Amino acid sequence: MPSTITPPDIDRPRRPDFIEGDNGSGRKPPTDKRTGGNGDNDGDGWSNRPQGKRGPRERLLRARTGLFFALFGDLMFFIALVSVFFVTKASGHFDAYNRYINEWLPTAIPSILWLNTAVLLLSSVSAEVARRAMFHEIDVMDEWFGFGRPTSKRAGIWLWVTLLLGAMFLAGQWVAWGQLSTHHAFLRANPSSHFFYIITISHAVHLFLGIAALIAALVTLKHSRVMATRQVLVDGTVWYWHAMGVLWIFLFALLEYGQ
Amino acid sequence: MKMQPTRAKPEHSRITHHRTVGFGYLAISLSAVAAGTVLSLAMRLHLAWPGWSLPLHGPILPEEYLALVTMHGTLMLFFVLTVAPQNGFGNLILPAQIGASRMAFPRLNLLSMAVTAVALFVLFSAFIVPGGAPISGWTAYPPLSTSSLAGPGQGWGMDAWLASIALFSIGSTLAAVNTLTTIVKLRCDGMTWERLPLTVWSWFTAALLSVIAFSVLLAALLLLFCDRHLGTAFFLPHTEWMNGVLRQHGGDGSPLLWLHLFWFFGHPEVYIAILPGMGLTSMVIANFARRRVFAYRLMIATTLLIGLLGIVVWGHHMFVAGLNPFAGSAFALSSMAIAIPATAEVLSWLAMVWRSRPQLTTAMVFALGFVSLFVAGGLTGPILAQPVLDEYLHNTFFVVGHFHLIMAMAGVFGLFCATYYWFPLMFGRALSERIGKVHFWGTIVFAYSTFLPMHFTGLAGEPRHYAQLTGIPGPTGTLLAATMPLQRHITVSALCLGLAQLPFLLNLLLSVLRPVRTTKNLWNATTMEWAPKTDKLPAAYRGPCHYSQDGNEFAPQWEEPSSTADGGA
C-alpha cells in the first residue's frame, strides 16, 4: 500500500499496544494487559483467536441475540394489540337520540387466572433451575471427564417440571375460556371480550410454541452429544419461557385492572 | 505454540447456504416483478383506451381494474421491493461484506425464504379463487376489506390476500432477525461498527424496521381476520350500509384504527424498500468516483435517523382520512423533518461525484440515476407532507407519480445497480457494459417520461383508483378529457419502459451464451466481498473507500498494512 494514502482516524490505534515492561510513556503500565487465563500462557487461549473461533460461548450469544430480536418483534405484536385495546375501550358513537353510547362492558376475569399466573411463575422458576443446571461448572467438568451426563440429567428433570406446569397453565386457560362461555361471554359478545380472547389465545399460542421448544430441548438433551447444542437449546427455550411469563403478567394486569 | 486457525470447511449444506437462499429470494422477486409489470401495463392500457379489450379475456371491468391495482401494488411492494434488495442481495452479499462465511441461522434463513415463496403462491392463488383477486388495494382499507359484500374479490380473494401477507410478515420478521444477528455477531476481526460499509448499515436499519413494522402488520391482519370471520368489530363502525345491506356490529370500531396500524407498518415498509438502495448508491458512487464517502459517520447517522423518523411519520398517509388536525400538524412536522437526513445523504452523494471524473460504468450510471430519481421524487415529498396541499393532491395521480419516482423507480434503479455491480460475484461473469448503457438510457428516459407527467395530470385533477375516466358528463368530464392526451402519453411511455428492459434480458442471455468470465476484483472495489479467496480467515484492517489522490491506487479493507509507516493498525 502506498504511503500517499492518509489513513483516517479509525486506523490509528486508540491506545498504544502493551509492551512488556515499559511502554515508553513514563507512566505505569496499563492494567488491562492480558493475564493469561485459559490454563497456560501458550497463547492458545480462546480469547486470542479470531472472531468466530472463540468457542461455544459465541454460539450461545448468537442464539441469545437472535432470540432477543425475535422477542422484540413479538413485543411489538402485543404492543399493537394493547394499543387497539385502549383505542377501542375509549370509542363510542352517538345513537338516534344523540346520546353518546360506549358499548364497552368489562369482562369479568375468572379467578382461576390468578392460579394460572402462579403456576406460570412457578414454571419460570423450574425453567431457570434447569437452565442453570446446564451451566453448573462442576457437572460440566464431570461430563468432560466422562463421568456421565449430570447436567442433562438434572436439567431434564426440571424441564419436565416446567413442561408439566406449562401444560397446567394452558389447561387452566382452557377452563377459564369454558367458564366465560357458560356465561355467554364469547369472542363476539362485547368489545372487551374480543380482547380477552384475542390476548389470551395469542399468548397461549406462544406458550404452545414454548412447549414445543421444551419438547425439542428434552429430545436434544437425550440424544445430542454436543454439550454446546444442549446448552444453547435449553438456554434459548428458558429465556423464551421467561419472556412469555413476564408478558403474561403484564397482559393479566391489563385484563384484570385495565378494563 | 501459537495456533493459526485456518478457514474452516463449510459448516452447512448447500441447500441452507446463504447463496442458495439469496437466489431463491431473487427468483421470488423476478416472478413477482414480471407479473406486476404485466398487470400495470394492462392498467395503463385500460386507462388510456377504456374500450381496449385484453386478449383472451375481453374488456377490463371496473372491479377487474381495481383487482389489477391491488395485485400490482401488493406484488411490487412486498415481493419485489422488500424481498430483492433486503433479502435477495442481503443474503448474496452481506455475509461476505462483513467477512462472515455464513448467515447466523442458516436453517431459519431457508425457512423464511420458503415461507415467503409460499406467501407468493397464496397471493397468486387469489387470481383463481371464486370471485377473483381482491379489490381493496394493497392497503386493504376497511370497511370494504371486511366483507364479501363489498365486491367480487372481497370474499375468497381477500382471504387469500390476508393469508399471503400474514405469511409474508412472518417470513420477513424471521429474515430480519437473521440479518440483525448476522451483523451484530458475525463480523470478522477488525470489522468495527464504523468500518462497516454503508450497505451493511442500511441492511441493518431496514432489518430493524422490519422487526418493528411487520409484527404490527401481523397484529392488524389478525384483527382484520377476526372482523371478517369471527364477528368482532375492531375496524367497523356500529352501523354501516354496504351495497344495499344494513350491517350492525357490536362495538364501535373504526376504519381509522386500521389506517393507523397499517401505516405504522406501511411507512417503515417504504424505507425498508429504499434504504438498501441508498446504502449501495453511496458505496458505488464512492467506488467509481474514487473518493471516500464524505462524512462517513454522518452518513451512518443519517441512515439510522431516516429509519427512526420513518417510524413516526405514518400519519401523513391519513391527512384526508379524518385524522385530528392537530395530529396532522405533528405528522407534517415529522414528515418534513425526514427531509433533513435525506438531504444530507444527497449532498454527500453530490460531493463525492463533484469534479471527480467518475468512471461511468453501468453500475455507476444506475447509481447516479438513483440519485436523480431520489431528488426528483423526493422534492414532492415536502409538498405532500403539508396537510393543506395533501387535501387536494392525496387522491390524485400526483401521489402516484411521487411514490413511483422515489420508491418504485429509485428502488428498481438500486436493484439494477446491484445487479450490474455484483454480477461478477453472483455468477463469475460480467455483464456487457455497452448493452448495459443502452438499458440504462432507455430505462431512465422512459421512467421519467412515464411518471413525471403523472404529477401534471394529478394537478389537473385526475383521481387515482378510478377504473374509467372517460364518458363522464358535466365539468368533471371536461376536466378529465383535458388530461387524456397526457394519459395516452403515459401509457405509451410505460409500454416503452417495459420494452427498455429487453436489452437487460439480452444482456443476461448473452452472459449465459457468451460468458465473459471474471473472478477478480473487477471494479477495484475496497469492500470485503471482493476479497480474493485465501486460506486465511478474513479480517478488516480499515474502513471502506480508501483511494489515493489519482484513484489508481486503493487500499481494500482486507489488505494487511504493509508496514507501520503506512500508519495503519
pLDDT tens readout for residues A216-255: 999 999 999 889 999 999 999 999 999 999 999 999 999 9
* pLDDT band of B568, cuts 50, 70, 90: very low
- Determine the distance in angstroms separating the CA of B475 from the nearest CA of chain A, rounded to an integer: 37
Residue among B3, B215, B526 with most chain A CBs within 10 A, to mutate = B215
Q: Which of B219, B537, B566 sits opposite A3 (nearest CB)?
A: B566
Number of Cβ within a 10 Å radius of residue B422: 21
Percent of chain B with pLDDT over 90: 82
Q: By the CB < 8 Å criterion, does B10 face chain A?
A: no
Residue A2 within any structural domain of the chain: no
Q: Find where cell 382499507 sits.
A: B141
Closest partner residue to B232 among A50, A77, A187, by Cβ? A187
Q: What is the CATH number of the domain that holds A167?
A: 1.20.120.80
Is the CB of A31 inside 8 Å of chain B's CB atoms?
no
| Cα A173 from Cα B296, distance rounded (Å) | 54
Chain B hits for A11, CB-CB cut-off 8 Å, are 541-543, 567-569
- Angstrom distances, CA of residue A259 to CA of A82, A86, A105: 11, 9, 8
Tell whether omega for the bond before B142 is within 30 degrees of 0, i.e. cis: no
DSSP bridge partners of B517: B429
pLDDT of residue B11: 56
Phi, psi at residue B386, to the nearest 5°? -85, 120
DSSP helix/strand/coil, B24: helix
Q: How far apart are CA B436 and CA B366, in angstroms?
A: 10
Are B566 and A62 in contact (CB < 8 Å)? no
B476-510 as b/e, with b when 16 or more CB fall inside 10 Å? eeeebeebbebbeebbbbbeebbebbebbeebeee
For chains A and B, CB pairs below 8 A equal 179
Return the ∠ at Cα B130 (arms to B127 and B132), rounded to 5°: 35
Which chain B residues are Cβ-neighbours of A103 within 8 angstroms? 238, 250-252
pLDDT of A26: 60
Asked whether the beta carbons of residue B216 and residue A79 sit closer than 8 angstroms, the reply is: yes
pLDDT in tens, A185-195: 898 889 999 99
Q: What is the pLDDT of residue B463?
A: 93
Q: Which of A46, A51, A232 to mutate to test the interface with B (most CBs of B within 10 A)?
A: A51
Please name which of B105, B79, B80 lies closest in space to residue B17, comparing C-alpha atoms.
Answer: B105
* H/E element, B242: strand B239-242
Residues written for chain B:
569
* Number of domains present in the structure of chain A: 1
pLDDT of residue B330: 94
Phi-psi region of B246 (alpha: psi -120 to 50; beta: other; left: phi over 0): beta
**Local structure of B559: helix, strand or coil:** coil
Residue with cell 395530529: B327
What is the mean pLDDT of the segment spanning A64-76? 97
pLDDT in the model for residue B462: 92
Whether the per-residue pLDDT at A162 is higher than 80: the answer is yes
Kindly report the pTM of this predicted structure: 0.92
Decide if B231 contacts B251 (C-beta within 8 A): no
| CB atoms A5 and B548 under 8 Å | yes
Per-residue pLDDT, A7: 42
Kindly list the distances between the CA atom of residue B270 and the CA atoms of A122, B37, B63, B478, in Å, as whole numbers in the listed order.
44, 19, 27, 36
* Residues of A in Cβ contact (< 8 Å) with B2: 42-44
The yes-or-no verdict on residue A37 having pLDDT over 90 is: no
Q: Which residues of chain B have a CB within 8 Å of the CB of A90? A: none
3-state secondary structure of B59: strand
Q: How far is CA A58 from CA A55, A141, B59, B106, B241, in A?
A: 6, 19, 61, 16, 60
Interatomic CA distance for residues A252 and A244, integer angstroms: 12
**What does the block give as the cell for B439?**
438499458
Distance CA(A46)–CA(A53), nearest Å, equals 7
Whether A21 maps to a domain, the answer reads no
What's B1's DSSP letter? Answer: -
C-alpha cell at A198: 384475542
Query: Which residues in chain A have their CB less than 8 angstroms from residue B189's CB?
Result: 50-51
Contacts of A253 (CB under 8 A, 6+ apart): none
CA B37 to chain centre: 15
How many helices and strands, by DSSP H and E, does chain A display?
Answer: 6, 2
Q: Which residues are CB-contacts of B469 (< 8 A; sequence separation ≥ 6)?
A: B47, B50, B462, B463, B480, B483, B484, B487
Note whether residue A114 is domain-resident.
yes
Q: Is the model more confident about A120 or about B560?
A: A120
The rounded mean pLDDT for chain B is 92
pLDDT band at A45 (very low <50, low <70, confident <90, very high): low
Q: Cα–Cα distance between B313 and B323 in angstroms, integer? A: 13
Cα–Cα dist A120/A149, whole Å: 28
> Helices B474-499 and B433-459 meet at what angle, rounded to 10?
170
CB B279 within 8 A of CB B201: yes
The contacts of residue B23 (CB under 8 Å, 6+ apart) are B88, B92, B426
Interface contact flag, A93 B543, Cβ < 8 Å = no
Q: In this predicted structure, what is the pLDDT of residue A98?
A: 92
Domain-embedded: residue A127 = yes
Partner-chain contact B546 A42, CB within 8 Å:
no
In CATH, what class is B21-238+248-559?
mainly alpha
Model confidence at B557, pLDDT cuts 50, 70, 90, reads: very high
A82 touches chain B (CB under 8 A): no
H or E stretch at B516: strand B516-517
CA proximity to B411, closest of B312, B285, B315, B269: B269
pLDDT digits 0-9 by tens, B507-545: 999 999 999 888 789 999 999 999 998 888 888 999 999
**Whether pLDDT at A89 is above 70:** yes
Check residue B250 and give its pLDDT: 79
Is there a domain that residue A182 lies in? yes
* Segments forming the whole domain that contains residue A63: 56-257
CA–CA separation, A102 vs A144, rounded Å?
Answer: 66
Taking the CA of residue B189 and the nearest CA in chain A, the distance in Å comes to 5
Q: Which residues of chain B from 244 to 303 reach within 8 Å of chain A, CB to CB?
A: 250-254, 257, 261, 264, 292, 296
- Provide, as residue numbers in chain B, all residues whose Cβ is less than 8 Å from the Cβ of A7: 542, 546, 566-568
In angstroms, the CA B158 to CA B70 distance is: 10
Q: Give me the residues of A, 107-126, that contact B with CB < 8 A.
A: none
CB contact under 8 A, B223 and A62: no
How is residue B189 written as a grid cell?
A: 476481526
Interval B491-506: pLDDT, tens: 999 999 999 999 999 9
B56 contact A CB<8A:
no
> Is pLDDT of A53 > 90?
no
Given this model, what pLDDT does residue A44 score?
61
- Kindly tell me if the per-residue pLDDT of A211 is higher than 60: yes
CA B397, CA B462: separation in Å to the nearest integer? 6
**Among B177, B191, B223, B294, which would you mutate to test the A interface (most chain A Cβ atoms within 10 Å of its Cβ)?**
B177
- Per-residue confidence (pLDDT) for residue A2, from 0 to 100: 43
Nearest to A199 by CA among A81, A100, A106: A81
A50: closest chain B residue by CA = B189
